[in-house]
Amino acid sequence: MPSLVTLAPDTPADEIIAVLARDGALILRDVIDEAQLARVNDELKPYVDATEPGRDDFTGNRTTRTGALVARSPATRELIMHPAIRAACDKFLLPNCERYQLHLGQVIRIMPGQKAQAIHRDRWAWGTWLKGIEPQLNTIWALSDFTRENGATQVCPGSLGWPDNYQPKPEEIGYAEMRAGSVLVYSGSVFHGGGANTANTDRVGLNITYTLGWLRQEENQYLACPPEIARTLDPELARLIGYAMGQYALGYYTPPLPPGEGPEVVDPSYALTGELSGSALGSTASLEAISSQVRASS
């Protein structure tokens, strides 16, 4: 059975990216302390307890999935913006986009009796059309201890190049066993799945994922965190969930106001501030970057 590399929480981003390029996944141990872990759990528990289990084998008949975390949990916002994870995202995603965005925030609680989830790739959220590019970087924060018995995430290290229709063998599947407060970091291309819970306690993980800014998000952040809540956030977090241009001419909108009572084309940040800033279609630097790419490919 393969094992996952476990690194210290202060491991430089370049080292994290090197392991991800080879294995597709790793564990950062003890990233948050007991006090911060308790705050996250305390804020999320009422929502998790009220969430109904899934209704099919993939989402899990003994698994709950709780979202809208940016709107619901200030402590979770700190994990979304964690410097070590953001530094890894910068290295991993920015070579293929002008900005990246929050793709999903979800508490996954695997309860006793849950069978193992089918092994899959998270990038299949966009089907199998994207080729030759890594669209996302994912994390699962352990809000409880992860053990093989209670449903620790199944991971196939080194599976990045496997065909999409490959069926992993049991001996190719490892388990992300880690203490509460640690985090599994993995790419959208690595084969993985929720583990079976044969224990008598829940396994609770916080799934926070990031994706290229020009792709549609899995969780619709504009409905999960509408403008009246988003305008109370730290501006950088608001931009990360999508209240910013994805790149030049990607994400602008027209406020649906009566004739003459508002601008026609604005940046998404206008929904939060009511202020016009720069070009509605994006920055000159963004346009020049696209033009340079076009010229280079001609």
Which pLDDT does position 287 carry in this prediction? Answer: 57
CA atoms in the 13 A half-sphere facing the CB of 199: 16
Residue extent(s) of CATH 2.60.120.620 domains in the chain: 6-221
Residue keyed to tokens 């340079």? 292
Cβ atoms within 10 Å of 286's Cβ, excluding its own: 19
Say which DSSP state 117 is in.
P
Write out the CATH class of domain 6-221. Answer: mainly beta
End-to-end Cα distance, the chain? 47
Nearest to 121 by CA among 108, 112, 111, 131: 131
Determine contact, residues 51/65, Cβ cutoff 8 Å. Answer: yes
Entry pTM: 0.93
Measuring CA to CA, which residue among 256, 255, 244 is closest to residue 281? 244
Per-residue pLDDT reduced to its tens digit, 274-289: 988 766 666 666 657 6
pLDDT (0 to 100) of residue 71:
98
> What is the structure's pLDDT at 247?
87
Question: In the chain, which residues have pLDDT < 70?
Answer: 278-287, 289-298
Q: Which long-range contacts (CB under 8 A, 24 or more apart) does 161-170 make?
A: 162/191, 164/121, 164/124, 164/128, 166/191, 167/119, 168/119
DSSP alpha helices (H): ranges in the chain?
13-23, 34-49, 69-72, 74-80, 83-93, 221-224, 227-230, 235-241, 270-273, 284-297
Could you give the strand order of the β-sheet that contains 154-155, starting from the edge strand earlier in sequence?
A: 174-175, 154-155, 192-193
